[in-house]
Chains A and B, each alone.
Chain A
């Protein structure tokens, strides 16, 4: 009898307790690719895909009453998928995006305003770098939790640089400080090693656009500002001429796409690769591989070729759809808890090579001791983002098309920049 009573009591307790431990299911949309190492821990994870998945899985497994389902996406078409899900009224509960896309999404009223809810979720906004805060802010309100700043760097093959006599006494690479010096160094590498001086993706993704934007910034000029296009300015022309002079001198190959340019660098065929922060940990691993030609790897801040130090940068951030906040407070709270967890693991994410967004992380010894971090510590100071505009995606496409027309098809610089200026102006209305 006692056993029956005990069993019934346990059953009753289970029924009563059940609602208290009910799971809140949330969905998460992200790019960064699929992690092919199952159940990897945060500390052991390597590369963007696995580090972010480990952080998410860690939150999912912890005893917080929240279950996270990561929706796999095709990286190249990520924004098409996300926009479609918004249009269908079924966006993921939380999703990653670039700060460049904030104006477009926020201006449509698609994103939840997180400004007044972050502190309660345990996210200290005052710990964010001011540039990171700016990146997630639109018209004075906060629409996301920043995860990193990713900027263009100069990835350097020190073996080639040494062969070309371009290494300083302190062992750092000698980088150019003017367009003229850039050509001198390039010629030196070409003559003494027979290698290309610089490789970058000039034929596929808009890395060429980012280069031109950077070189225009270094001359104190913007390609567009305040709703006015300024693509055919003397500064932009000078920026393009600087890049084209490398092709004309035979010091760089304009036909390389992203994979080819990376392969060229790893194969030891180019002294410099212009690429982002996201590949630092991969190149570190490659340089340690005896089968890879690249063996002495160095990462440098983007050099200042004109007057003002600057390099292109952008941010990855996490956002929550406005419908989640307005219709489903429980999921909204769960999503904020996940964002707090990601924010707490800013150091782990920085292992990819990205720049941390939290001041406390940036100033920590653990951050400073990450591989090569001291070599590009200055990037956080010179990293700049473009002015937020709603149609930046389309503007970037126009710029990429016209710049590629210059170095891939020989379109006159003046004509291409003029055409780009007209098209960008149309997109700025």
Chain B
């Protein structure tokens, strides 16, 4: 008994140590963001390996926030992330429900085809996708930033599996009461699928917010940059070796919404990862 308690205590200590270790880069980023660039050009470990922001300054955060387009870039990221999340949820829920509950012809072929999308790396379709959007003249617009990420096989898979787990009798009872397919989907199945929807929403939002590569090539006009792209464009010299504080301030600001989202919905995020649905 005492041995078990000792082992548990040791495990707890190890986990806390691991968590603190994981936090070091984040604390370091925050600390460097709050130190003057002139100092950081000479040393990044002034006090306590640089983990304590001394001397302290808000100049770097102020600089990033004062750039004319920074609010616009935040707005763009919000529009893209929210639109993408809403569309992924709608499409995945409808497709998932159809695959799970509607015995339409070709379902047994179509569903594996959708799942096959899971093994196609994003980079493999990057160039055709890019040229297709170029042909349509969509680049430098919200549609081009959102559309390529809307058809997400993992979302369809997640929702299909969830709908399959809902007992049939619930749907049968609704049918007996005269509910049609759409009513059953919107009034019964969707409310029941809230846990899966929340998980999918959070993962999609995080992915959309952090996305860099696609906005990098699709958006060339500054007014269409997302926050990740915009902040990267504020680099002031080669290799960013003279403006570390601003780089770190950019990182702090860009990650703030994501950190807040995680703090608010950490249970669902953890559940989503546990379900193996991390992209």
Q: Using a CB–CB distance below 8 Å, which chain A residues touch chain B?
A: 32-36, 47-49, 71-77, 80-81, 84-85, 87-90, 92, 201, 204-205, 258-259, 262-263, 266-267, 278-279, 282, 286, 289, 291-293
Contact A90 B220 (CB under 8 A): yes
Contact A34 B236 (CB under 8 A): yes
B41 to chain A: which residues have CB within 8 Å? 262-263, 266, 286
Report the Cα distance A187→B175, complex, angstroms. Answer: 88
Report the Cα distance A293→B38, complex, angstroms. Answer: 13
Nearest Cβ distance between residue A38 and chain B, in whole angstroms? 10
Contact A74 B134 (CB under 8 A): no
**Chain A CB within 8 A of B237 CB:** yes
A-B contact pairs, 28 of them (CB 8 A): A33-B238, A34-B234, A49-B237, A72-B225, A74-B235, A75-B238, A84-B130, A84-B217, A87-B127, A88-B130, A88-B131, A88-B139, A90-B134, A90-B139, A90-B220, A258-B238, A258-B241, A259-B244, A262-B41, A262-B241, A263-B41, A263-B42, A263-B241, A266-B42, A278-B238, A279-B238, A291-B42, A293-B42
With A34-B236, A47-B236, A49-B236 given, name 7 new contacts (CB 8 A).
Answer: A33-B236, A76-B235, A81-B216, A84-B216, A88-B130, A89-B134, A259-B241
Report the Cα distance A209→B217, complex, angstroms. Answer: 28
What is the predominant secondary structure among interface residues of chain B facing chain A? helix
Partner of A48, one of B42, B221, B234, B237: B237
- Place the interface of chain B in its size category: 35 or more
Report the Cα distance A201→B133, complex, angstroms. Answer: 39
A263 to chain B: which residues have CB within 8 Å? 41-44, 241
Partner of A71, one of B39, B222, B241: B222
Partner of A259, one of B39, B217, B240: B240
Report the Cα distance A48→B242, complex, angstroms. Answer: 12
A89 to chain B: which residues have CB within 8 Å? 134
A47 to chain B: which residues have CB within 8 Å? 236-237
Nearest Cβ distance between residue B200 and chain A, in whole angstroms? 30
Contact B42 A74 (CB under 8 A): no
B220 to chain A: which residues have CB within 8 Å? 71, 81, 84-85, 88, 90, 92
Partner of A33, one of B38, B130, B140, B237: B237
Summed over the interface, the residue pairs from A and B with CB atoms below 8 Å come to a total of 97
A85 to chain B: which residues have CB within 8 Å? 220
Q: Using a CB–CB distance below 8 Å, which chain B residues touch chain A?
A: 38-39, 41-44, 63, 127, 130-131, 133-134, 139-140, 216-218, 220-222, 225, 229-230, 232-242, 244
Nearest Cβ distance between residue A56 and chain B, in whole angstroms? 15
Report the Cα distance A289→B133, complex, angstroms. Answer: 51
Nearest Cβ distance between residue A29 and chain B, in whole angstroms? 8
Partner of B239, one of A71, A84, A258: A258
Contact A72 B217 (CB under 8 A): no
Known contacts A74-B229, A74-B235; is A87 also within 8 Å of B244 by CB? Answer: no
